[in-house]
Amino acid sequence: MPLVETMTSKERVMNALAGLPVDRTPVANPTNVSTVELMDLVDAPFPDACRDSELAARLAATGYTELGFDAVAPYFTIIQESSALGCEMQWEGKDNWPTVRMYNPIWKGIEDINIPHGFLNHRDNVAITDSIKLLKEEFGNEVAIIGKTMGPWTLAYHVFGVERFLLMTVDDPDMVKRCLDKMKEISVLFGEAQIEAGADVLTFPDHATGDLVSGAYYKEFLLELHQEMAGRFNVPLILHICGKTLDRLDYIAQTGMDCFHFDSRNDPQEAMDIAAGRIRLVGNLNNPELLYSKGPKEVREAVYKCLDAGVDLIAPECAIPLATKLENLIEIPNAVRAWFEKNQ
């Protein structure tokens, strides 16, 4: 029986994030779905599309117009705030992600933490806020617009350097907590600017990944901070942490955040069982071994596995490889519709 869709994409996303009924599970990547092929299609290549609001909006819109996703997200990287803070950047070319040169950190300790004058007016932050305004003008309430503001743990990697920051957590954990408490205001400032520009949802990447730190670390350093963040914004908040996170998912479910974007290294049924309705889940289609390397048949199987487990929103696990084939991305919403036609 053909699926009859009765909601707009924005309504579908917002209802799913609130735990309310939907006509079908939404497809919405909280990070982004930019690819070189899409860049070429709309003449909005990296790195320019990361630094120019019109190009960013044009590229982000393809997630809805070309791929059929239910949300658009114009913040493609994880480095805009870090650039505005003064970090040394490596902008790369069209087929590579811009990065922070973390081997050359700008801060050494808590005394160095400051928000520069004109932070929100820095070119790389304005590119995001103005692109959100452009997307709002183009789509109104038709599609959900997802902004993104880096959490203080992620920012700490950039400004202190990963190795130095992790050593700080061992040598002086109380000082690290004070650092995170100060740096969270950067997250709030940029997040609120995106909401004012028209963002319907915020992704909050804070990469306390299982690849680097334990679940006990998450509880000690971030649980209370994330609980506070859940109350600081007036839009739904999606926490994003890469890697294995089942060992901290019970804590994450206690944050009060609306949703958690989880990695393919976590079984969707196990994740849903731990979440137990306390937080919605979005994910968790593998990027390198599935979306980049396989075909639509395998993509459909992975989508079905997530839907069978009851995952609330379907998405790639993180920002997709820039050479990902469009047919695999287009298959994601097609597979969702096919599953609902089969199971309604």
Instruction: List, in sequence order, every residue forming a beta bridge with 313; answer none if it has no partner.
Output: 282
Task: Give the angle 119-123-124 at the CA atoms, nearest 5°.
Answer: 85
pLDDT in tens, 293-309: 999 999 999 999 999 99
Task: Please state the length of the chain.
Answer: 344
Residue whose token pair is 């639509």: 296
Sign of the dihedral through C-alpha 39, 43, 46, 50: negative
pLDDT band at 312 (very low <50, low <70, confident <90, very high): very high
% of the chain exceeding 70 in pLDDT: 100
* pLDDT at residue 340 is higher than 80: yes
pLDDT band at 209 (very low <50, low <70, confident <90, very high): confident
* pLDDT score for 208: 87
For 76, phi then psi, to 5°, come to -85, -25
Instruction: List, in sequence order, every residue forming a beta bridge with 202; answer none if it has no partner.
Output: 147, 237
- Give the residue with greater pLDDT, 228 vs 209: 228
Mean pLDDT of the region 33-49: 96
* pLDDT score for 195: 98
Pairing mode, if any, of strands 99-100 and 89-90?
A: antiparallel
* pLDDT score for 211: 81
* pLDDT score for 210: 79
Q: Give me the domains of the chain, ranges plus CATH numbers.
A: 9-343 (3.20.20.210)
pLDDT in tens, 244-291: 999 999 999 999 999 999 999 999 999 999 999 999 999 999 999 999
* pLDDT at residue 1 is higher than 80: no
> CA-CA distances (angstroms) from residue 190 to 22, 49, 101, 193, 199?
30, 19, 21, 5, 12
* pLDDT score for 168: 95
pLDDT in tens, 102-156: 889 999 999 999 999 999 999 999 999 999 999 999 999 999 999 999 999 999 9
* pLDDT score for 319: 87
| SS3 category, 336 | helix
* pLDDT score for 103: 87
CA 38 to chain centre: 19
* pLDDT score for 68: 97
**What does DSSP assign to residue 321?**
P
* pLDDT at residue 77 is higher than 80: yes
* pLDDT score for 234: 96
> CA-CA distances (angstroms) from residue 135 to 53, 56, 58, 196?
10, 9, 8, 13
Record the pTM. 0.96
Please provide the average confidence, as pLDDT, over all residues in the chain. 96
Q: How far apart are CA 61 and CA 256, in angstroms?
A: 30
* pLDDT score for 329: 98
- Provide the H-helix boundaries in the chain: 9-18, 36-42, 48-51, 53-65, 80-85, 123-139, 152-160, 162-171, 173-197, 215-217, 223-230, 249-252, 268-275, 296-309, 326-343
* pLDDT at residue 212 is higher than 90: no
Mean pLDDT of the region 196-213: 92
Residue 298, exposed/middle/buried by CB under 10 A (0-12, 13-18, 19+)? Answer: middle
